[in-house]
Structure 1
Amino acid sequence: MTEQRVRWTADQVLALAPDAASRTAGSKLGTAGPWSETGSGEGTVWGLCRGSGSRPYRTVVDLAGPAYKCSCPSRKFPCKHALGLLLLWAGGGAVPVSGEPPGWAGEWLASRRGRVEGKPARGDGSSASGPADPEAARRRAERRAERVTAGATELEQRLADLLRGGLAPAEQAGYGAWDETAARMVDAQAPGLAARVRELGAIPASGPGWPARLLEECALLHLLDQGWLRRDALPDALAATVRSRLGLPAPADGPPVRDRWLVLAQYDTVDAKLTTRRIWLHGADSGDTRLLLSYGAAGRAPELSLPVGLALDAELSGHPGAARARASLGERHAPPTPAAFRPPGVSTGDAADRYGAALRDDPWLESVPVTLERVVPVPDGETWQLADADADTALPLTRAARSRPGLWRLTALSGGAPVTVFGECGHRGFTPLTAWAAGTDEAVPLC
């Protein structure tokens, strides 16, 4: 490892925060006051942070991951102390270059790097390992396929009963019947079906036009059921997409692609049982845009986190599926460094066309990653849209995007002038995730 001479920006550090509370708490610790014995060297930053206990918390960050270790009891990654230490380091002189880390930091660093070098990494930050008994694994897969088939067959009957009786009673039925059906899909080991079934229960209360939306979602669910029941007749790529939509595991099978991968965006979605982290990357040479998924148990952030706006020299391996957008992170050859490039942008009309074309290969696709060039955020009545500065077209922002503080950050960055915006474009609109002002390659996270 070589010394990390180029320090990150405060925005890039705060983009690593697992939630808003950690971002706020970490910002308060980004000053020299609570810190002592800080230092950096060999791609590592360390320090002691005064807390409520009698002993200061020992905090160390491996910039090559990045990865974090702190003696505090927090279950978040990174914790507020790691964020504060990185903010202090990003600020400059308060964290001197000290060469060798102290013993407690050096021991953890050596152990971590030994594990990383000895085991290939997966996209969720854990080590990869094959099944100990391939025959036993095959039998388990067959038993699970039988259960999924039974669940899909039962769901088809449930949908047929709904349509036979008409959609009107669904408004009075509430969540109960759908929750019961979703539980049956969980028992059938088809979490993808269960998640879609739960969404059906909320549609009748979603406002005017709900019958059309319910019918549309039922049709997509029926299509997914039929895709599984007739999977042997599908092309390999589409069959793999069906398996992934059902929630069946599919390890990366593509050849590793080494590139300088720009971290475009990172954000979490949370439900009662799981925190899912999505990290979008763009290859400088390949031009590919890939998605890393990692998971944490309920109330706990995933360990894998990458600073938005930096680039890492690393290998990615694609997962099976029609689009092959998902990838697993393999060997990393250098710590993340500032990037002097960004993805090429397209117009709002081209972005909509891309989503339409992607639906031919994956009818269940919610959105596609797109970088919009020269767009301006403008209000449109009670909503907002990204208007194309060079054409009479625009994309509406999704409801989720309109409720995020990132919208006001994007508006301030634009100031009425065109900007470049990366985000997700789908049937509900566009969700901006990162933006660049004209004439600069400095990424501004919006989520």
Structure 2
Amino acid sequence: MTEQGVRWTAEQVLALAPDDASRKAGARLGGAGPWSQTGGSASGAVWGLCKGSGSKPYRTVVDLSGPAYKCSCPSRKFPCKHALGLLLLWAAEGLEDAAGTSAGRPADTSAGTSTGAPDWADEWLAERAAKAARPAADRSDRAGPADAEGARKRAERRAARVGAGVTELEQRLADLVRGGLAGQERAGYAAWEETAARMVDAQAPGLAARVRELGTIPSCGTGWPARMLEEAALLHLLDRAWLGVSGLPEPLAATVRSRLGLQPRAEGEAVRDHWLVLAQYDTASPDGRLTTRRIWLRGLASGRPALVLDFGPPGRPPGLALPVGLVLEAEARFRPGSAGLRADLGERFGPAAPCRTAPTGVSTAAALEAYGTALREDPWLESWPVVLGPVVPIPGGPQGGQREGGQDDREGPQQPHKTWQLADAEGASALPVPLTGAGSRPGTGLWQLAALSGGGPLTVFGECGHRGFTPLTAWQPGSSEPVVLG
């Protein structure tokens, strides 16, 4: 293999696992024992045969430029444990030994292909390469005048249906405010799910998602009335914006259409850059039917943030997985609206490689200013991606704490607690930001952040919003290895 200089770490490989069970099973397959006929190519692919419970070994191949995976096993998980095991073997530089070259037995490179892969692997790799090389014009539908006129009429009919749904939702919100919030805990979620279904019928999936989130708030614990009123107000603002969308500036109108779930009228800007993967995490929809994977990227040349979303149907994780800390050269096409964050990854130019340096951070004041600027473009934006640094975490605790001389001035278990904060290590700002829970298990990442810091400065990536800063990834001074929080 000639791509030895861009190997991933074991932590980056295991971050691709769809769940804990796959992570453990993949780790058990990360040794040479079950593998045979392994190999890799300079173009960024690895392959091998893994002995399983059946008579025939499983054929596993990974395209590192995706990453993308192909395995003959029946697993519906993606990537499967065999793909994870093969990547772990590659990360440990064990492919050649597993192939038998150290014993004088050459790896199987039957079929004489350009990649040196066996025919079953090379066929799949060739299909991926041909698809990537196909001109964009050949992959898109060519719309003539008749198609354009039909599209215009369909858009008008959909706009009318969305308008009817928005009007109905406005009446629902008015009834909510008129009747008060006190009875919402007893009313339950069913009525809001019915309203969300009506928004789906109106072809406004963005409204349906916000309605479902609104209906879950009464079961979220103390302080829910204030949060519900806030979300209802934002939903009302979105309704009014749609009803007057024709009079809005085009960038704001594009944001409104995006928030309602309508397709953009025009293609967005395409940016080719080396994109650093800052964070990746999954969230489930309120009804549990859909898993959303959020992947945060940052252009090393442009400095531009990008949010890539992927979705998984019930029982299956999203297909796209990018390990945190890798850099991939690719074209990102940004969708109009949503403050210019949402992007789709297009053509990629070579395999991903680990980043050699930690990203540069900004002060807490600059982070808050960036979020405020973004809100002018998208009033419904819940957070803005920011790299803070150098910053020091200030753990929360009971108010008062210890007085000088060691006397404790706490008055009992009912004493309110301080909020965790991040403060600039160099005193550049007097505006420490409050912290919210980190990672998939809120709260656990905060203690992890404090342990990494040990009272010293860190570089931290996260989402800065009106409720505070959610840390997702951290780097210790002088280290390029990211630590995923939570």
TM-score, scaled to structure 2: 0.84
- Cα pair 1:275 1:299 within 8 Å, conserved: no
Residues of 2 paired with 1:374 and 1:362: CA distance? Answer: 28
Farther-moved stretch of structure 1 (107-116 vs 322-331): 322-331
Output the amino acid matched with 1:278: R
SS at structure 1 position matched to 2:79: coil
SS at structure 2 position matched to 1:308: coil
Residues of 2 paired with 1:59 and 1:149: CA distance? Answer: 50
SS at structure 1 position matched to 2:272: strand
Residues of 1 paired with 2:443 and 2:119: CA distance? Answer: 43
For 2:251, the equivalent position in structure 1 comes to: 237
Residues of 2 paired with 1:111 and 1:2: CA distance? Answer: 22
Structure 1 residue 193: deviation in Å? 1.0
Which of 352, 357, 360 is the equivalent residue of 2:373?
357
For 1:429, the equivalent position in structure 2 comes to: 468
Superimposed CA distance per residue, residues 295-316 of structure 1 (whole angstroms, 9 cap, x where no aligned partner): 2222222222222212112111
Superimposed CA distance per residue, residues 27-81 of structure 1 (whole angstroms, 9 cap, x where no aligned partner): 2221222222221123111111122222211111011111110111122221111
Which of 169, 175, 180 is the equivalent residue of 2:183?
169
Higher relative contact order (CA 8 A, sep 6+): 1
Which of 129, 134, 143 is the equivalent residue of 2:140?
129
Superimposed CA distance per residue, residues 336-377 of structure 1 (whole angstroms, 9 cap, x where no aligned partner): 122234432112232223222322221111110000102233
Residues of 2 paired with 1:340 and 1:375: CA distance? Answer: 21
Residues of 1 paired with 2:128 and 2:443: CA distance? Answer: 36
Output the amino acid matched with 1:72: C
For 1:185, the equivalent position in structure 2 comes to: 199
Residues of 1 paired with 2:289 and 2:148: CA distance? Answer: 30
Larger radius of gyration: 2
For 1:20, the equivalent position in structure 2 comes to: 20
SS at structure 2 position matched to 1:290: strand
For 1:7, the equivalent position in structure 2 comes to: 7
Farther-moved stretch of structure 1 (159-168 vs 62-71): 159-168
SS at structure 1 position matched to 2:281: strand
Which of 309, 318, 331 is the equivalent residue of 2:334?
318
5+ residue gaps, structure 2, are: 100-106, 108-114, 398-416
Residues of 2 paired with 1:19 and 1:138: CA distance? Answer: 44
Structure 1 residue 115: deviation in Å? 1.3
SS at structure 2 position matched to 1:365: coil
1:396 aligns with 2:434: yes
Structure 1 residue 202: deviation in Å? 2.3
SS at structure 2 position matched to 1:87: helix
Superimposed CA distance per residue, residues 265-288 of structure 1 (whole angstroms, 9 cap, x where no aligned partner): 222222333222221111111111
For 2:410, the equivalent position in structure 1 comes to: none
- Cα pair 2:438 2:445 within 8 Å, conserved: no
SS at structure 2 position matched to 1:323: helix
Residues of 2 paired with 1:93 and 1:252: CA distance? Answer: 48
Residues of 1 paired with 2:135 and 2:449: CA distance? Answer: 40
CA RMSD of aligned residues (A): 2.5
For 2:111, the equivalent position in structure 1 comes to: none
Residues of 1 paired with 2:373 and 2:61: CA distance? Answer: 46
1:281 aligns with 2:314: no
Which of 272, 278, 285 is the equivalent residue of 1:258?
272
For 1:269, the equivalent position in structure 2 comes to: 283
Structure 1 residue 415: deviation in Å? 2.9
Q: Closer, same or farther in 2 for the Cα pair 1:23/1:119, shift >3 Å?
A: farther
TM-score, scaled to structure 1: 0.91
SS at structure 2 position matched to 1:439: coil
How many residues are aligned here? Answer: 442
Output the amino acid matched with 1:253: E
- Cα pair 2:241 2:256 within 8 Å, conserved: yes
Superimposed CA distance per residue, residues 166-198 of structure 1 (whole angstroms, 9 cap, x where no aligned partner): 222323222122121111111111111111112
Residues of 2 paired with 1:405 and 1:213: CA distance? Answer: 24
Q: Closer, same or farther in 2 for the Cα pair 1:251/1:328, shift >3 Å?
A: farther
Structure 1 residue 215: deviation in Å? 1.6
For 1:124, the equivalent position in structure 2 comes to: none
Superimposed CA distance per residue, residues 111-147 of structure 1 (whole angstroms, 9 cap, x where no aligned partner): 11111211559xxxxx963475333333322222111
Residues of 1 paired with 2:74 and 2:444: CA distance? Answer: 29
For 2:351, the equivalent position in structure 1 comes to: 335
Structure 1 residue 206: deviation in Å? 2.9
SS at structure 1 position matched to 2:48: strand
Output the amino acid matched with 1:145: A
1:77 aligns with 2:78: yes
1:107 aligns with 2:107: no
SS at structure 2 position matched to 1:422: strand
Residues of 2 paired with 1:346 and 1:101: CA distance? Answer: 46
Output the amino acid matched with 1:397: L
SS at structure 2 position matched to 1:46: strand
SS at structure 2 position matched to 1:299: coil
Q: Closer, same or farther in 2 for the Cα pair 1:141/1:2, shift >3 Å?
A: farther
Structure 1 residue 209: deviation in Å? 3.0
Farther-moved stretch of structure 1 (42-51 vs 14-23): 14-23
Farther-moved stretch of structure 1 (61-70 vs 370-379): 370-379
For 2:422, the equivalent position in structure 1 comes to: 386
Q: Closer, same or farther in 2 for the Cα pair 1:320/1:367, shift >3 Å?
A: same
Residues of 2 paired with 1:75 and 1:386: CA distance? Answer: 41
- Cα pair 1:18 1:268 within 8 Å, conserved: no
Q: Closer, same or farther in 2 for the Cα pair 1:409/1:238, shift >3 Å?
A: same
Output the amino acid matched with 2:120: W
Structure 1 residue 212: deviation in Å? 2.1
5+ residue gaps, structure 1, are: 122-126
